[in-house]
Amino acid sequence: MKFQSYRAGAFFDEMFGENDTPRAIAKTLVNIIQSLPDGELLRRQQSAERTLLQLGITFNVYGDSAGTEKIFPFDLLPRIVSAAEWTWIERGLKQRITALNLFINDIYHDQKIIKDKVVPEEIIRSAKSFREQCVGLTPPLGIWCHICGTDLVRHRDGQIYVLEDNLRCPSGVSYVIENRQVMKRTFPQVFEASRIRPVGEYPSRLRDMLESLASPDVETPRVVVLTPGTYNSAYFEHSFLAQQMGVELVEGRDLVVSDGFVWMRTTKGFERVDVIYRRIDDDFIDPKAFRPDSALGVAGLMEAYKAGHVALANAPGTGVADDKVVYAYVPKIVKYYLNQEIIIPNVPTYVCADPKEQEYVLEHLDELVVKAANESGGYGMLVGPHATKELRAEFATRVRANPRNYIAQPTLSLSQVPTIVDGHFEGRHVDLRPYILYGKSIFVLPGGLTRVALKKGSLVVNSSQGGGSKDTWVLSDDPDAVHESAVVAEPAVTTGAMQS
């Protein structure tokens, strides 16, 4: 398999630049692949897939009773990010999470940003993820969002945008670590020849961060990961992280709140729990405080949390900044709290709650991507140019009925990476989700989950919708003349949405 017949086409290609010549960052890899004997790359791809199957690296698909467990498809060709571009991304992500945390804290305390009319009160009041129960609370270290996975995309013009902030329970980091393991097994000589930053330290960093949240009088804090159970789509990740951190993976039924503290049931009696990395949504963590019908949570957990007897990551209430309508205001939020211009721009966003913008959205449904404010995983989404007339009409009705719940964005031409399809290379669209940890300091994992839409022309990269993944290589130093791809320019796509 060779690149001779590969054409980048009309899209931004992460591996090939002008005239289909390899970018400087990809030269080493392209040379090695070109020098492989015929069939060798395909053989390695199959060997990588076999490894993933044997490792049982799978995810569960909701609503699919036949085989609920699937292998997350993996493609051998990585996405490569230059050191210069990564430095810029890292700065942008740190800025964003700092501002978002200040925002959440403000929303649950003085609401200055509302009083100063930067964010409309109505949007916060109507946000499903706003938690009345958290008003006035200050979480450990004063930080609400400790673990964040931010989705980045690159448009045809080369500019990188933030597509979504995932502040609740972002998943996928386990695939980043496992994908790297598989890549090192199948492609050792590439790792010898390139300087690729490692990603294996994530579990230690996560554990350190979680321990730092424990009440200061606990000498050796007990950290646990709280999972909804084996039927959750991200169960593999929950157990993977618990194992790699060397902490217990617990379900709600393993925990009990007594005398204001949280305990877990063990073979030798009850033991105290100090920090919970919970992978259960706010709604379900405590039937006493939130949904009373939840069987996944722990009754009384919020009381123990409020008393400072247990730390929760992320803090309950964090989701308010994950609302897709709030997303539209992030550039203003950054400006308001940090007095800085936003480093990585937002994708221009139309807020349907605004009558003018709603009108625009309804008139341009065939060009736009419409998203429900509180959905994730690619559900509740309309990709206008690829949708049927009927589906567009259905979304128009939905938007009119509940404008607060919808936003719209121009359909981006996501950048592509060569991908092995039926024994040859074809460009497939990708996004990138880096992972950020925020404890006493902010850590951005050098890499991230590159999700790839395996269907030709598709822009939906979610694993539940037929997406796969690639390894992401962040170079520790750049070959000469790499700066071509480190775009730090003004966003090329603009809209009235944010200027209104």
Partner 1 sequence: MLSRVAESIYWMSRYIERAENVARFIDVNLNLMLDLPVGSTQQWLPLVDTAGDHEEFTRRYGSDTPQDVIQFLTFDADNPNSILSCLRAARENARSVREIISSEMWEQLNKFYLIVTSAVTKPAVLADPHEFFSAVKMSSHLFVGVTEGTMTHGEGWNFIRLGRVLERADKTSRILDVKYFILLPTVAHVGTTFDDLQWAAVLRSASAFEMYRKTHGRIHPRRVVEFLLLNAEFPRAIHFCLTASRECTHAISGTPVGLFRNPAEQLLAQLCAELAYAQVDDIVESGLHEYLDGLQANMNQVSAHVAETFFDARMAPPVARKRKEINP
φ, ψ for residue 213 (rounded to 5)? -90, -10
Of 426-465, binders to partner 1 (CB under 8 A) are: none
448: phi > 0 → left, psi -120 to 50 → alpha, else beta; which?
Answer: left
Work out how close the CB of 447 gets to partner 1 at its nearest, in angstroms, rounded to a whole number: 21
- When the beta carbons of 188 and 246 are compared against partner 1, the nearer one is 246
Question: Out of 308, 385, 423, 496, which residue is the one contacting partner 1 (CB under 8 A)?
Answer: 308
- When the beta carbons of 144 and 263 are compared against partner 1, the nearer one is 263
Token pair for 91: 């700065």
Of 220-239, binders to partner 1 (CB under 8 A) are: 225, 229-230, 235-236, 239
Question: Out of 98, 215, 411, 413, which residue is the one contacting partner 1 (CB under 8 A)?
Answer: 215
- When the beta carbons of 53 and 492 are compared against partner 1, the nearer one is 53
Token pair for 326: 């709030």
Contacting range for partner 1; rule: CB under 8 A; set: 21-29, 82-90, 187-195, 301-309: 301-309
- When the beta carbons of 241 and 407 are compared against partner 1, the nearer one is 241
Of 367-396, binders to partner 1 (CB under 8 A) are: none
Work out how close the CB of 106 gets to partner 1 at its nearest, in angstroms, rounded to a whole number: 18
- When the beta carbons of 129 and 174 are compared against partner 1, the nearer one is 174
Work out how close the CB of 51 gets to partner 1 at its nearest, in angstroms, rounded to a whole number: 9
Q: What whole-number distance in Å separates Cα of residue 453 and Cα of residue 465?
A: 9
- When the beta carbons of 1 and 137 are compared against partner 1, the nearer one is 137
Of 48-107, binders to partner 1 (CB under 8 A) are: 53-56
Could you tell me the CA-to-CA distances from 457 to 18, 283, 418, 461, 469 in Å, in that order? 21, 36, 13, 11, 16
Of 123-182, binders to partner 1 (CB under 8 A) are: 137-138
Contacting range for partner 1; rule: CB under 8 A; set: 23-31, 104-112, 304-312, 378-386: 304-312
- When the beta carbons of 72 and 263 are compared against partner 1, the nearer one is 263
Q: What whole-number distance in Å separates Cα of residue 58 and Cα of residue 48?
A: 14
φ, ψ for residue 261 (rounded to 5)? -115, 160
116 C-beta neighbours (distance < 10 Å), count: 9
13 C-beta neighbours (distance < 10 Å), count: 20
**Residue 326 three-state SS:** helix
To the nearest 10 degrees (0 to 180), the angle between helices 83-107 and 330-338 is 80
Work out how close the CB of 243 gets to partner 1 at its nearest, in angstroms, rounded to a whole number: 3
Convert residues 238-277 into a mask of x (bound to partner 1 by CB under 8 A) and - (unbound): -xx-xx---xxxxx-xx-x-xxxx-xxxxxxxx-x-----
Which ranges constitute the DSSP H helices of 343-458? 355-363, 389-401
- When the beta carbons of 202 and 235 are compared against partner 1, the nearer one is 235
φ, ψ for residue 143 (rounded to 5)? -110, 135
Query: What sign for the dihedral angle of Cα 117, 118, 124, 130?
Result: negative
Work out how close the CB of 215 gets to partner 1 at its nearest, in angstroms, rounded to a whole number: 5
Token pair for 217: 């009088």
- When the beta carbons of 123 and 313 are compared against partner 1, the nearer one is 313
Question: Which residue spans within 305-423 are E strands per DSSP?
Answer: 311-313, 350-351, 368-372, 381-383, 406-410, 416-421
Of 319-348, binders to partner 1 (CB under 8 A) are: none
309 belongs to the binding site for partner 1 (CB under 8 A): yes
Length of the chain: 500
Residue 390, classified by CB atoms within 10 Å of its CB into exposed (0-12), middle (13-18) or buried (19+), is exposed
- When the beta carbons of 3 and 270 are compared against partner 1, the nearer one is 270
Work out how close the CB of 233 gets to partner 1 at its nearest, in angstroms, rounded to a whole number: 13
Pair 347, 163: CB distance under 8 Å: yes
- When the beta carbons of 254 and 426 are compared against partner 1, the nearer one is 254
Question: Out of 38, 116, 132, 217, which residue is the one contacting partner 1 (CB under 8 A)?
Answer: 217
Work out how close the CB of 70 gets to partner 1 at its nearest, in angstroms, rounded to a whole number: 14
Pair 384, 391: CB distance under 8 Å: no
φ, ψ for residue 247 (rounded to 5)? -125, 170
Work out how close the CB of 125 gets to partner 1 at its nearest, in angstroms, rounded to a whole number: 25
Nearest to 452 by CA among 233, 175, 195, 187: 175
Work out how close the CB of 236 gets to partner 1 at its nearest, in angstroms, rounded to a whole number: 8
Q: What whole-number distance in Å separates Cα of residue 107 and Cα of residue 333?
A: 12
- When the beta carbons of 240 and 395 are compared against partner 1, the nearer one is 240
Beta-ladder partners of 249: 225
Beta-ladder partners of 255: 264
Question: Residues binding partner 1: what is the number (CB under 8 A)?
Answer: 44
Residues contacting 212, CB < 8 A, separation 6+: 141, 439, 440
- Site residues (vs partner 1, CB under 8 A): 53-56, 137-138, 215-217, 225, 229-230, 235-236, 239-240, 242-243, 247-251, 253-254, 256, 258-261, 263-270, 272, 305-309
